[in-house]
Structure 1
């Protein structure tokens, strides 16, 4: 008899990282976490506890991280940069920003979800468990958003309409950024992935409706624009556009009827014309100008992690409302380079997988990462949607799933074009 390969046997049976699934389910539900998982002394919180549990549990799978994939390496470089940036902030400021170490710890834990997810998947079928954990909260999110909206609903737009749903301690813009990613994921699943479980297929459509309506009720212009541009990109790369074109035409024609007047008014306020800007949009140009002026004094290294919060650096006392502008100030050219190369590595792998994947789950996740990367880039031009763990966790989970699916498909990492050999044959 042949010796039993325990690793292969475990892979055939599948693997379930229950702490990870619970972690992913509760991450966007900040109101529930605050109520039932209050922070402990020493900066220990829900994120720390369940991250450690998920990490310990993933070690049982015996899976390894494949460092030949560029996103894995770029993410590691970015994490190391963040720690160096924290030290730089402490060296630059006479009064370092309080709580920065704990904030960075939580952020890094969420970034490392990419690695934990890869070690928690032993076969393609394991991906569905993670997908379910990501989309399962959507009916509750919709119920919370809609109940908040109904309590302040009015015909014309007002800032009182801005609701935050389960994002306790954050705002409607952060909720909108989270819902952009979930909506794009669900759109990709509906397009390519058909689960063998009937209830999962039906629930996916229900979750898409819940996510899309909730996104509309955030009144977040950044989320609206991110969704539109991501949807346009999806239409351009879609091979068979017949049904999609019909759906888009019908949806566009019905918008004036189904959309509340307040939503139309909010969307129409998106304008680059100086005479048409509202106070919120106009003030951002003032903050950006102040940030660029300060960045010129330290263009290479910046001033360090979260340094823009300090009155020593930021004389305006206001946020930049643009994560890339903030990165220029805090991380300088090095921080911006590492951030952009990381995002581009994710985009490049997703584009490669979308074009070459044959498995429906693989293709759906590739499309989700592709669209979510574009949506995240647009959303971060309107504020910090990158460092809030309740917002960005789903993106890094999808990246981890994509890398592992690419590995399971035995597909090589995407490489650049080969150099032509101009030597003459002898």
Structure 2
């Protein structure tokens, strides 16, 4: 009966999501942006559900339409002076510069390939559009979420979405448990592989772990711990070496800042990994070289494509060859398998500089809230954003874990939540100072 109920819900999910999407579309246009944002946030990782909406009118652009509706609702709210159009954040300027520069790079790529100025059907244009949707989500989140209650509602929705993702991922991990079949593990992403799923899990699981450290004892804390442990279990058995490294570095930073006692078991696992880790995980780590000490095929191919990438970069070092062009050059691996090399090749030194500054701003925004937040949960989310940023930086050494909408949207949304919490903390500080000054004036007056 239980499996029958789950099967029925799976069949009903697309039509229910579509009907809800129509409702939330009009809700966003009427100014109720936050509810639509919560709905979109829930669906972002659930690509398996979104793909099933393609048969309905507008279904292929379902999330894009809702995000644009939220942007219009945000604009209408600002025009009606119900909210500021754009509150101050250290991420605002660099985000706008990044979007503008990638658009210029897209046009450089069109010139390089000899294609039209802005062909909507071009996959490069579609990829650029998806990239731009993420900064737009940051601005919508930061400027329409106005209080802490809604910050934690959005955080809860993200956790609920990851519960569904964990349900699918655990099933796949049990079905495809061998190193050979791991490529079939897609979680809810459909077209992305185990390395991308692992990158998603390690970024946001460590962020949730940071929040967990700051929560008071109770049911919610235990539920969050359960989700963290389930995600870590999935992460271990997806056999992603890049994710293992990024997770270890992220934990090192998180534990060093917040819970130094946990550094001891972390170091013990790192030192005695051949005893502490499951056998298949050990085999996956050792696959980097073969029995003769030579690099295995995957690692060898990456080194080859990195060498080719460097040669291409040297011919166009300042601005690169243009957004999304490298995969059109016909090399075997198609991609550079390193976001920093990819940006160097396609966007040049200018593009890489902008990207690194953006990463530093993410890190700074998180650490600022951790240092100056006016409650423990805010501090936890701020530190979590900083940890997630560090993990993202490591993940991207081994592939593109940045430009995929399903993979990086949550990082931008978390950045929006952190920016809003920082603004709230600043406003509370100003109110406190104003109140103190008022009390001093009153005392002087009556004395």
| Aligned ranges 1:123-162 → 2 under 5 Å | 123-154=147-178, 157-160=179-182
* 1:269–1:276 contact (8 Å) kept in structure 2: no
Quote the residue 1:202 is aligned against: 222
39, 52, 55: which one aligns with 2:71:
55
Q: Structure 1 residues 122, 222: CA separation in 2 closer, same or farther (over 3 Å shift)?
A: same
Quote the residue 1:172 is aligned against: 194
1:34 aligns with 2:51: yes
1:284 aligns with 2:299: no
Quote the residue 1:3 is aligned against: none
Q: Offset of 1:317 from its aligned partner?
A: 5.7
| 1-structure distance, mates of 2:346, 2:191 | 23
Quote the residue 1:371 is aligned against: 387
Aligned pairs, number: 389
| 2-structure distance, mates of 1:162, 1:382 | 19
1:344 aligns with 2:360: yes
1:45 aligns with 2:69: no
Quote the residue 1:213 is aligned against: 233
TM-score (norm 2): 0.79
Quote the residue 1:21 is aligned against: 38
188, 191, 205: which one aligns with 1:183:
205
* 2:53–2:60 contact (8 Å) kept in structure 1: no
| Highest RCO, 1 vs 2 (Cα 8 Å, sep ≥ 6) | 1
1:309 aligns with 2:327: yes
TM-score (norm 1): 0.83
| 1-structure distance, mates of 2:102, 2:385 | 23
269, 283, 286: which one aligns with 1:265:
283
Quote the residue 1:321 is aligned against: 337
Q: Offset of 1:373 from its aligned partner?
A: 0.8
Quote the residue 1:331 is aligned against: 347
392, 396, 408: which one aligns with 2:424:
408
Q: Structure 1 residues 308, 205: CA separation in 2 closer, same or farther (over 3 Å shift)?
A: same
* 2:186–2:193 contact (8 Å) kept in structure 1: yes
What RMSD, in angstroms, separates the aligned Cα atoms of the two structures?
2.9
| 2-structure distance, mates of 1:353, 1:50 | 30
Q: Structure 1 residues 282, 253: CA separation in 2 closer, same or farther (over 3 Å shift)?
A: closer
| Aligned ranges 1:351-370 → 2 under 5 Å | 351-370=367-386
Q: Structure 1 residues 316, 357: CA separation in 2 closer, same or farther (over 3 Å shift)?
A: same
* 2:370–2:379 contact (8 Å) kept in structure 1: yes
| 1-structure distance, mates of 2:264, 2:350 | 45
Q: Give per-residue Cα distances to partners, 1:350-369, cap 9 Å, x unaligned.
A: 22322232412221111111
Q: Give per-residue Cα distances to partners, 1:211-260, cap 9 Å, x unaligned.
A: 1112122211111111111111122223x524x34664787799777743
309, 313, 320: which one aligns with 1:295:
313
| 1-structure distance, mates of 2:272, 2:226 | 20
Moved more, 118-127 or 165-174: 118-127
| Aligned ranges 1:373-392 → 2 under 5 Å | 373-392=389-408
Q: Offset of 1:109 from its aligned partner?
A: 0.9
Q: Structure 1 residues 65, 323: CA separation in 2 closer, same or farther (over 3 Å shift)?
A: farther
* SS of structure 2 residue aligned to 1:296: helix
* 2:33–2:70 contact (8 Å) kept in structure 1: no
* 1:300–1:333 contact (8 Å) kept in structure 2: yes
Q: Offset of 1:276 from its aligned partner?
A: 4.7
| 1-structure distance, mates of 2:54, 2:199 | 24
Q: Give per-residue Cα distances to partners, 1:102-129, cap 9 Å, x unaligned.
A: 2211220122111111122211222111
Quote the residue 2:139 is aligned against: 115
1:77 aligns with 2:93: no
| Aligned ranges 1:239-250 → 2 under 5 Å | 241-242=260-261, 244-245=262-263, 248=266
Quote the residue 1:275 is aligned against: 293
* 2:94–2:358 contact (8 Å) kept in structure 1: yes
* SS of structure 2 residue aligned to 1:319: coil
* 1:149–1:161 contact (8 Å) kept in structure 2: no
* SS of structure 2 residue aligned to 1:136: helix
Q: Offset of 1:286 from its aligned partner?
A: 0.5
Q: Offset of 1:27 from its aligned partner?
A: 0.7
Q: Which runs of 5+ in 2 are unaligned?
A: 1-31, 429-447
| 1-structure distance, mates of 2:249, 2:56 | 38
| 1-structure distance, mates of 2:61, 2:320 | 30
Q: Structure 1 residues 317, 261: CA separation in 2 closer, same or farther (over 3 Å shift)?
A: closer
